[in-house]
């Protein structure tokens, strides 16, 4: 397996990355173009954003709407920042919309409640019932190895249903995540959210209608995932913009800012699959979801998180590889819980995943067990890796200053005194 000479992504990373002639991946190149702000005039972009927002305010007046835009929120760090920016900085009155996929952590519920309290904004929350969640999770796990398909489908669809219902044309998303991870689209593209990206990127090429009749899934089960008709979208004039196209996006800085101003809170215990204490902490199924990625492609969240730190110059390749070694191949303790919830055995889970394992990486040993044939930390740091290093930042991921943000075994964070943040939960909290 080839790995990026700068970050830790393997060449089979999903979504697709491309390694250039210097061995550096498209995600790293994209990050470089962002951080150097090559040809990017951020002032001009902020002005464009302000114009879009002003138009939305005028439109709300004209239509007699009390809300001038919709912000899809989970309660995570990005949600906090999006709402804060729109409300406090640009004087918007957003309607917060949450698709509740049911697999919440106590920390996530704590932070969503916190966001609603601190922002003072109105919230609409749709909670998917466990019967439908179980059927869809189980079917999509078997079909494509994803038990959280309904998350992406709901988060990317339900805000559009609300937009049409309430005649609110502007939906404001946060970061265009695919760009940041892999560099497939550039900032120059000013991509907006489309029905196509929703289906291809977020929903693995499946529309909810494709699921009806499979695994006992009913028409009622898929209701929150059905995208409004083209006519409805056109009538309301719905568009979805990404804030990261208009303001320089620094997720870590923003998380810190939200911790200070609005009391967004990271967790304080060590997670099973990453050293990151502040990202995706609301997602209880994330450990299993991420472990599935490892079983398919041989890398997981520690690779994602360490690669991001390396690109920012806050972690060395050596430190990153140590993280990958510590976390990526760990079977999460919640796997058993999800198997029980879905009514399957662990053996069944592994059998379903078997055909999805990348044959370039996985091989069965003499005892019939699957073994990864490679890992980034098995590769020595050679000449191209040395040449590809970014200039180290003064800020270090595992420093005292970052103690609350990243788990450092040598200097773990202090407990917060809130149970939801200090202890992992063996099960999810529906509401
Ligand atoms: Zn890279």
Question: Ligand 1 centroid vs 23 CA: distance in angstroms?
Answer: 8
Top CATH class of 42-245 equals: alpha beta
- Asked if pLDDT for residue 194 goes beyond 80, the answer is no
Label residue 64 by pLDDT band (50, 70, 90). very high
- Asked if pLDDT for residue 183 goes beyond 80, the answer is no
DSSP secondary structure code for residue 226 in this structure: P
Question: Ligand 1 centroid vs 181 CA: distance in angstroms?
Answer: 9
Question: Ligand 1 centroid vs 116 CA: distance in angstroms?
Answer: 37
Residue 177 has what pLDDT? Answer: 66
Question: Ligand 1 centroid vs 28 CA: distance in angstroms?
Answer: 4
Give the number of other Cβ atoms within 10 Å of residue 354's Cβ. Answer: 13
Answer for the pair 107, 265: CB distance below 8 angstroms, yes or no.
Answer: yes
Looking at every residue in the chain, the average pLDDT score rounds to 94
Question: Ligand 1 centroid vs 396 CA: distance in angstroms?
Answer: 19
Pairing state between β 170-173 and 370-372? unpaired
Q: How many CA atoms lie within 13 A of 225 on its CB side?
A: 29
Range with the poorest average pLDDT among 130-139, 184-193, 224-233, 289-298: 184-193
Residue 36 has what pLDDT? Answer: 64
Question: Ligand 1 centroid vs 119 CA: distance in angstroms?
Answer: 37
Phi, psi of 71 (to 5 degrees): -120, 115
Range with the poorest average pLDDT among 194-203, 239-248, 383-392: 194-203
Is 225 exposed, middle or buried (CB count within 10 Å of its CB: 0-12, 13-18, 19+)?
Answer: buried
Question: Ligand 1 centroid vs 3 CA: distance in angstroms?
Answer: 8
pLDDT tens by residue, 341-388:
999 999 999 999 999 999 999 999 999 999 999 999 999 999 999 999
What is the rounded CA–CA span in Å between residue 310 and residue 17? Answer: 17
- Asked if pLDDT for residue 171 goes beyond 90, the answer is yes
What is the rounded CA–CA span in Å between residue 30 and residue 233? Answer: 32
Question: Ligand 1 centroid vs 311 CA: distance in angstroms?
Answer: 8
Question: Ligand 1 centroid vs 96 CA: distance in angstroms?
Answer: 35
pLDDT tens by residue, 292-344:
999 999 999 999 999 999 999 999 999 999 999 999 999 999 999 999 999 99
Question: Ligand 1 centroid vs 280 CA: distance in angstroms?
Answer: 22
Question: Ligand 1 centroid vs 259 CA: distance in angstroms?
Answer: 29
pTM above 0.85, yes or no: yes
Question: Ligand 1 centroid vs 229 CA: distance in angstroms?
Answer: 39
Answer for the pair 255, 175: CB distance below 8 angstroms, yes or no.
Answer: no
Question: Ligand 1 centroid vs 36 CA: distance in angstroms?
Answer: 16
Question: Ligand 1 centroid vs 385 CA: distance in angstroms?
Answer: 11
Tell me how far CA of residue 352 lies from CA of 143, 204, 284, 297, 346, in angstroms: 8, 17, 21, 15, 10
What average pLDDT score do residues 381-397 get?
97
Domain boundaries, the chain: 42-245, 267-422
Label residue 275 by pLDDT band (50, 70, 90). very high
């Amino acid at each position: 397996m080839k790995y990026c000479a700068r970050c830790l992504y393997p060449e089979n990373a999903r979504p697709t990355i491309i390694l250039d002639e210097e061995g550096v991946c498209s995600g790293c190149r994209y990050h470089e173009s962002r951080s150097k702000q090559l040809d990017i005039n951020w002032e001009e972009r902020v002005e464009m954003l302000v114009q879009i927002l002003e138009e939305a305010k005028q439109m709300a007046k004209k239509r007699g709407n009390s809300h001038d835009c919709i912000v899809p929120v989970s309660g995570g760090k990005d949600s906090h920042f999006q709402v804060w920016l729109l409300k406090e900085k640009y004087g918007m009155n957003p309607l917060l919309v949450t698709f509740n996929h049911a697999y919440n952590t106590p920390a996530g519920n704590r932070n969503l409640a916190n966001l609603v309290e601190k922002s003072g904004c109105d919230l609409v929350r749709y909670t998917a019932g466990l019967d439908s969640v179980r059927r869809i999770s189980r079917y999509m796990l078997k079909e494509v190895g994803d038990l959280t398909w309904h998350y992406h489908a709901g988060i990317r669809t339900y805000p559009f249903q609300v937009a049409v219902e309430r005649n609110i044309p502007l939906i404001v998303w946060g970061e265009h995540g695919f760009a940041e991870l892999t560099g497939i689209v550039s900032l120059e593209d000013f991509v907006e959210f489309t029905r196509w990206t929703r289906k291809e990127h977020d929903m693995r090429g499946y529309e909810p209608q494709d699921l009806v009749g499979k695994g006992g899934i009913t028409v009622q089960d898929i209701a929150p995932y059905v995208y409004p008709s083209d006519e409805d979208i056109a009538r309301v004039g719905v568009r979805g913009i990404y804030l990261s196209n208009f303001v320089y996006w620094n997720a870590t800085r923003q998380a810190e800012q939200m911790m200070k101003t609005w009391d967004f809170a990271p967790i304080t215990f060590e997670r099973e699959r990453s050293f990151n204490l502040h990202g995706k902490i609301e997602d209880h199924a994330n450990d299993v979801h991420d472990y599935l990625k490892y079983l398919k492609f041989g890398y997981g969240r520690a690779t994602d998180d360490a690669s991001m730190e390396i690109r920012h110059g806050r972690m060395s390749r050596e430190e990153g590889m140590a993280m990958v070694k510590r976390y990526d191949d760990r079977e999460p303790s919640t796997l058993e819980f999800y198997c029980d919830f879905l009514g399957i055995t662990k053996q069944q889970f592994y059998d379903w995943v078997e055909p999805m394992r990348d044959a370039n990486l996985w091989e069965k040993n003499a005892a019939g067990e699957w073994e990864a044939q490679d890992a980034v930390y098995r590769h020595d740091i050679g000449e191209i890796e040395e040449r590809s290093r970014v200039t180290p930042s003064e800020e270090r991921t595992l420093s005292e200053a970052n103690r609350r943000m990243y788990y450092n075994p040598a200097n773990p964070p202090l407990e917060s005194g809130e149970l939801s943040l200090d202890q992992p939960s063996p099960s999810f909290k529906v509401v």
